[in-house]
Amino acid sequence: MNHDEIRQVDSFVHTLLEQLPDEATIGVVTPFKPQADELRAHLSQYERHRVRVGTVHTFQGGERDVMVFSLVAGEGMHDGAIGWVHRQLNLWNVAITRARSHLIVVGDMNLWRERGGVAAALLNAATTSGPRIDERQGDDLLRRLYQVMSAQPGTTVTLGESVSGHPADVLVRPPDSAGPNAVLLDRGPDDSGDEPRHLRLKLHRRRLLDGGEKSGDALRYPAWRLYDTSTNQA
């Protein structure tokens, strides 16, 4: 067990439940059963249908809006156990792919940076500041989206922001608007070609960003529209 990580996970879950919509769900996954048992005890105050805790087997075939991944490994732990976590690709796969919109990894930054692999890749991604239009030179679609959304006079468009903890491709603030409108760029399904699942996930992400006191309606923007001149002009 790693008690420092248990306290940190508890803090994250408490904050997430305060900030996320009431229907949002959280999963807490960890490689070791003793850590899962201790986390379950600490998080028992929260509603079970919103917060689910377990090892990788708990989340086989299930998804959560936010996944919190406690790696446990730290100073003083046997090197063989750390190496076992490092090699469990199915564990990493489940932790990452079961998150509908947000993944939080809790672990020893220095240890995993030295280990490399998936943990180091996630660390590098997490410590990179939010994207801006001048940093996405190779992303033609995002540049086009930025230009289209900026076409209305007085409109402010920003990249790399989020609403209630959920990332949006752009936030559009029209003049005299009560709040920003989140826009999700729909690039289409990935190589798996599972179009129904892709659409369900996009629509779910849009609902998470939609409405509220501090934000306007969210918009799913199909990428093909960025190449349709007549649609963009309209």
Say whether both 117 and 144 belong to one domain: no
| Paired tokens of 199 | 């659409």
Note whether 112 and 167 are same-domain residues. no
Please indicate, yes or no, whether residues 77 and 187 belong to a single structural domain of this protein. Answer: no
How many Å from the N-terminal Cα to the C-terminal Cα in the chain?
Answer: 58
User: Does residue 158 share a domain with residue 98?
Assistant: no
Range of the domain at 81: 3-126
Whether residue 106 is found in the same domain as residue 198: no
Helix/strand/coil for 177? coil
Domain end (from 95, 126, 157): 126
CATH for 47? 3.40.50.300
* Highest mean pLDDT: which range of 13-22, 91-100, 148-157: 13-22
What is d(CA 164, CA 59) in angstroms, rounded to the nearest whole number? 24
If asked whether residues 72 and 115 sit together in one domain, one would say yes
pLDDT of 218 higher than 60? yes
- Say if residue 122 is in the same domain as residue 139: no
Q: What percent of the chain is modeled with pLDDT above 90? A: 21
Mean pLDDT is lowest, of 34-43, 72-81, 152-161, for: 152-161
CATH of the domain at 162: 3.40.960
Same domain for 216 and 107, yes or no, is no
List, as one string, the DSSP characters of 157-171.
EEES-EETTEE-SEE
| Predicted local confidence at residue 70, as pLDDT | 92
The answer on 144 and 115 residing in a single domain is no
* Separation between Cα atoms, residue 182 and residue 164, nearest integer Å: 11
Number of domains in the chain: 2
Region 219-225 average pLDDT: 90
pTM exceeds cut of 0.85: no
- 69, pLDDT greater than 70: yes
Orientation of helix 117-126 relative to helix 89-97, angle to 10° = 30
Lowest mean pLDDT among 41-55, 110-124, 132-146, 175-189: 132-146
Please tell me the predicted confidence (pLDDT) of residue 65.
Answer: 92
Same domain, 76 and 137: no
